[in-house]
Amino acid sequence: MTQNLSEHRHISFTAHYTGYIWYSMGISHPVFATAKGKFLAKILHPLESWAEKHVGGSMRTTLKQRHSMIDRQLTALIQQHPDLQILEIACGLSPRSWNFRQKFPQIDYRELDLPDMAAIKTRALLELDAQSPEVLTADIFTEDFEKIFQRFDSSRPLAIISEGLINYFDKTLLNQLLQGMTEYGQEFSELHYLTDIYPEPVQNKLASFIWTCSKLLKIMSRSSFTFHFINPLEVQTFFSNTGFNQVDVLQPAAFFQDAAESNLIAFKNPEEHGGDLVWVIHAVLKKQRS
Domains detected in the chain: 57-286 (3.40.50.150)
pLDDT tens digit sequence for 59-101: 667 788 899 999 999 999 999 999 999 999 999 999 999 999 9
Residues 6+ apart with CB under 8 A from 44: 17, 59
Provide the pLDDT for residue 24: 83
Q: Higher model confidence: residue 184 or residue 37? A: 184
CA atoms within 13 A on the CB side of 37: 22
Average per-residue pLDDT for the chain: 82
- CA distance linking residue 156 with residue 137, whole number of Å: 22
**What pTM was computed for the model?**
0.83
- The C-alpha atoms of residue 56 and residue 50 are separated, in whole angstroms, by 9
Query: Over the stretch 145-176, which tens digit does the pLDDT of each residue have?
Result: 999 999 999 999 999 999 989 988 989 999 99
Distance, CA of 282 to CA of 284 (rounded, Å)? 7
Instruction: Compute the average pLDDT of residues 182-207.
Output: 84
Q: What is the pLDDT of residues 98-134, one digit of tens each?
A: 999 999 999 999 999 999 899 999 999 999 999 999 9
